[in-house]
Amino acid sequence: MAQQKTVLVTGAANGIGRAIALKFARDGYKVGAYDIDVAALVKLLGEAGAGTEIVTGSMDVRNVDDWELSLEQLCGPDGTLDVLINNAGILHSGRFADISLADQTRTIEINVLGTMNGCHTAYPYLKRAGEAQVINLCSASAIYGQMDLAAYSASKFAVRGLTEALELEWQREGIKVNALWPLFVNTNMVEGMDIGTTRALGVRLTPDDVARAAFKVAQGGRGGVHRGVGVQARTMMASANPSGAGNRLVNKILGNR
């Protein structure tokens, strides 16, 4: 009998993270579901259904101590982690000068520092797994800087760069690193948002759409480092050619000199 695989999902209480946690749990994974919204995590446990295994806990992704405690809780002090999904994120929409600097700083801290913390602290667990996977939630906002989402867009450019660098660094250790690129998803994050791009493109994706894409990537589905979710994102990525094969090859060659 195959050994049960383990996945850690951040921002798992609601929206995309919740859908991802449920998808993996119902498909046989042991799931570590972490969030600052502990009450919603309790509801998640009730919805998962019989035969699922979900470990929950409070985590502020900006806090390295929270990461270390959560990983030890889920995997054991010398255990392994098969899949890390850095999903936790926030956004504030509107004109850059009208959004408080505190709110924009928090966006960078959660979206960027949270992802870096996860990759760094989970690395020993991923390495011990032999063949492991990191999936970072990126965004079509990382194709070109997006007005009315400046800090969010900047944060996703950082996630994109981190993903590309670690995909090259960690491949020799058997750790795959990918980024998912959805456009707007019908979650609380876009509730009440009224900016040019939402009016033009609409909100066409559901959390389950992203969860299915994440599961496909974790199963080794074909594709590059970056995976568009939905027709709109894939079309935009193809026209912009983010981190095409040529760029990746040049960086791989230079990095291994």
Spatial distance between the Cα atoms of 179 and 210, rounded to a whole number of angstroms: 12
Span 4-63, pLDDT tens digits: 999 999 999 999 999 999 999 999 999 999 999 999 999 999 999 889 999 999 999 999
Spatial distance between the Cα atoms of 130 and 38, rounded to a whole number of angstroms: 32
Answer yes or no: is 158 within a domain: yes
Answer yes or no: is 225 within a domain: yes
Answer yes or no: is 167 within a domain: yes
Span 119-155, pLDDT tens digits: 999 999 999 998 999 999 999 889 889 999 999 999 9
Residue type, 165: A
Residue-by-residue DSSP string for 54-77: EEEEE--TT-HHHHHHHHHHHH-T
Span 159-193, pLDDT tens digits: 999 999 999 999 999 999 999 988 777 777 677 66
pLDDT of residue 250: 41
Known catalytic membership, residue 156: yes
pLDDT of residue 8: 98
Catalytic residue of the set 5, 23, 30, 156: 156
> Positive or negative, the Cα torsion across 61, 65, 68, 74?
negative
What CATH number is attached to the domain comprising 95? 3.40.50.720
Answer yes or no: is 171 within a domain: yes
DSSP state of 1: -
Catalytic residue of the set 34, 152, 176, 252: 152
Residue 222 is part of which domain span? 6-255
Known catalytic membership, residue 152: yes
Answer yes or no: is 104 within a domain: yes
Residue 219's Cβ-count burial label (10 Å; 0-12, 13-18, 19+) is exposed
Answer yes or no: is 155 within a domain: yes
Answer yes or no: is 1 within a domain: no
- Asked if residue 74 lies in contact with residue 55, where contact means CB atoms within 8 angstroms, the answer is yes
| Alpha carbon of residue 84 to chain centroid | 8
Number of domains in the chain: 1
